[in-house]
Structure 1
Amino acid sequence: MTDKVLICGSIAFDTIAVFEGHFKDHILSNGIQSLSVSFFVPTLRKDYGGCAGNIAYNLRLLGGNPVPVGTVGADAADYIAYMQGLGIDTSMVRMLPDMYTPQCFITTDLDNNQIASFHPGAMERSADNDLTGCEAAWGIVAPDAKDGMFAHAGRLKAQAIPFVFDLGQAMPLFNGEDLNQMLELADIFTANDYEASVVEQRTGRSMQEIAGTLRAVVVTRGAEGATLYADGTETHIDAVTAEQVVDPTGCGDAHRAGLLYGLTKNWSLADSCRLANVMGSLKIASKGPQNHRPTRGDINAVLNDNFGLSLP
């Protein structure tokens, strides 16, 4: 039986610049109507990112078999080669030569305020990347273009491949009706506590009620751990203390990778969530979504120390 995981979502570049000052000293409230500012940014970092890319990276750290499903531009040859070098199957990464890879440009000041711009590029055609015929034990529909998320969800459902619906940064795109349609297709729903509260408001249903129609709902709560709603019960999943808190970018994606790995190994939902918390704690200790380098032994040690569990 296959252990592949189809990871549908964005594959993007994150360009992060640091302004060694404070935006508030340069953006005046009485001048917003004619804003024109420039920031000198001596520190610049370009990271491989995107939800599908980040989840695939973390799942590979665990020894899993991720298959990212995403669309990129001709400028992503190095990203594809990088994934292949990690042993990631890139057969479902489609390169569109007439478009750019999705890119997020972020400038951060010394107060950790951010000014960001996002270019969707090839992501706008993600729905055309048809995964029909792909075999997988599990899938995930992570943030992407809205029509792409619906297309991937429908194709996974049609092939009876169970999947996780990860709303994440796509939250502004989905109204209550959209969310209910996606939840009818999904097996597991994941969100952070803020996203969960918005979903409750937009659908008129609590997380417990939503979980009653799914295999499970998982709500992450940062340093407070996570909550698993399944089988009519609510289970608290303890947090894992990170060695240091450096950058939360990509922590949700690392969490999803741990959850998916446990699911492919037929672990209980609770234990899968515990591994997910471990992965989030390891990611937050480094800058960028794919710059942490724990070995499988390192991951196993944290998992065992915190929960008495071991990787297979």
Structure 2
Amino acid sequence: MTQPRLDVIAIGNAIIDVIANCSDERIDELGLARGGMMLIDADQARALYAAMGPAREISGGSAANTLAGLAALGAQCGFIGQVAQDQLGEVFTHDIRAAGIDFAVPARAGDPPTARCLIFVTPDGQRTMNTFLGASHYLPAEALDDAAVAGAAVLYLEGYLWDPEEPRAAMRKAIVAARAAGRKIAFTPSETFVIDRHRADFLSLIADGAIDVLFCNEHEMAALTGKSGFEDGLTMLAPSIPVLVVTRGAEGAVALAGGERAEVAAEPIERVVDTTGAGDLFAAGFLYGHVRGRSLQDCLRMGAICASEIISHYGARPDCDLAAFVAERMN
């Protein structure tokens, strides 16, 4: 087996978060669900974008956020996702490459436009989110570079992207390429509603030995296993997965691997500002430790530290020197 060129390559949604301040009255005028999140279509996305005031555009997407954390820690990473030939596609491409992450998938011509989450922030800090998945759900299997997948120590797959047919085919193709090269495959089901639609698929991947590292939270584990008891869920999954990582929010996280069990408490912080991206950055810290051969306990602790950084500010990308932040707290 050849030495991997990359530590982690990931397949996921390529999304731009567009964040603007607005009044409470404006939320009512636009007919939005204040404080909620809803999926919107292309026409709604264009209309809302035009209605926004001055905005900040920040790259997002679950797997892309994880890679941003990994790259900030010093890992070599690559991303496979789909943007369109438009302004937001250029923003996403610039941001991910500026983070030192390989990204070579050509932008898609025509509609739909690049995925975006339009976020209206009222004076009390409440965030009203409107998500259009756009071009990200049109990643074709042909866009996959088998050699790039084979050249990474870990292939990381985002469950959100399992829903649409084209990227699901791309991820299945990537699993074959990674396995043929003797690489590891990490997977997150992303959300319980994804599990509700694809539980049989995910359980089949587990039964076939296609997943080496599984990341989920306790609610996702319950949806996947059908077990309401936390320990019952662990007992069901652990024998079939080499490394199982389950997060529990403020109660910390648990990992099981090869008969070993490790647990970590949530890192204390002064104030939780925004939990968006907490799971993504937990995965970043854990995977960084994993590819560096750290102990299971250290991997969990690094994950918890990275999650604590991300929930201390708005946005799902690190807002400090993450490598120094983790190093200081690991000592």
Shorter chain as normaliser: what TM range? 0.7 to 0.9
The one-letter amino acid paired with 1:9 is G
1:160: how far off? Answer: 2.9
Contact 1:20 1:41 (8 Å CA) reproduced: no
Give 1:136's aligned residue. Answer: 152
Shift of 1:231: 2.6
Of 274, 281, 286 in structure 2, the residue corresponding to residue 254 of structure 1 is 281
Does 2:188 correspond to 1:175?
no
Q: Report the counterpart of residue 219 of structure 2 in structure 1.
A: 194
Please give the residue correspondences for 1:120-269 in structure 2 after superposition, counting only pairs within 5 Å.
120-128=133-141, 129-134=143-148, 135-146=151-162, 147=165, 148-149=167-168, 151-153=170-172, 154-155=175-176, 156-169=178-191, 171-172=193-194, 174-183=197-206, 184=208, 185-201=210-226, 206-269=233-296
Instruction: Evaluate the alpha carbon distance shift between residue 202 and residue 70 of structure 1 in structure 2; reply closer, same or farther with a 3 A threshold.
Output: farther
**Aligned to 1:16, which of 12, 16, 19?**
19
Q: Does the Cα contact within 8 Å between 1:208 and 1:229 map onto a contact in 2?
A: no
- In structure 2, C-alpha distance between the alignment counterparts of 1:170 and 1:12, rounded to whole Å: 20
What is the deviation of 1:131? 3.3
Q: 1:78 to 1:45 in 2, by over 3 A?
A: closer
> Which amino acid is 2:101 matched to?
I
- Aligned-partner Cα distance in 1 for 2:250–2:17: 25
Distance 2:54 2:259 in 1: 49
Instruction: Please report how far the alpha carbon of residue 278 of structure 1 lies from its aligned counterpart in structure 2 after TM superposition.
Output: 0.9
| C-alpha distance after superposition, 1:112-171 (max 9, x if no partner) | 765433222222222423131221111210134324245324333343321111111474
Report the CA distance between 1:4 and its aligned residue.
2.6
Aligned-residue RMSD, C-alpha: 3.1
- Cα pair 1:52 1:70 within 8 Å, conserved: no
What are the Cα deviations for residues 270-309 of structure 1, in whole angstroms up to 9, with x where unaligned? 32121111111111111111251225223210222xxxxx
Report the number of matched residues. 294
Q: Is the 8 A contact 1:180 1:203 kept in 2?
A: no
Which deviates more, 55-64 or 230-239?
230-239
| Structure 1 residues 18 and 137: CA distance shift in structure 2, 3 A | same
Structure 1 equivalent of residue 72 of structure 2? 61
Q: Structure 2 vs 1, CA of residues 241 and 182 (structure 1 numbering), >3 Å: closer, same or farther? A: same
Residue pair 1:15, 1:104 contacting (<8 A) in 2 also: yes
In structure 2, what residue type is equivalent to 1:198?
A
Give the structure 1 partner of residue 42 of structure 2. none
What is the deviation of 1:219? 0.8
TM-score normalized by the length of structure 1 = 0.82
Instruction: Report how far residue 233 of structure 1 moved.
Output: 4.8
Cα distance in structure 1, aligned partners of 2:259 and 2:200: 24
Segment of structure 1 superposing worse, 65-74 or 148-157 = 148-157
Q: Is 137-146 or 198-207 further displaced after alignment? A: 198-207
TM-score using structure 2 length: 0.77
Q: 1:260 to 1:295 in 2, by over 3 A?
A: closer
The 1:24/1:89 distance shift into structure 2, 3 A limit, reads closer
Seen in structure 2, the aligned counterparts of structure 1 residues 228 and 291 have a Cα distance that, compared at 3 Å, is closer
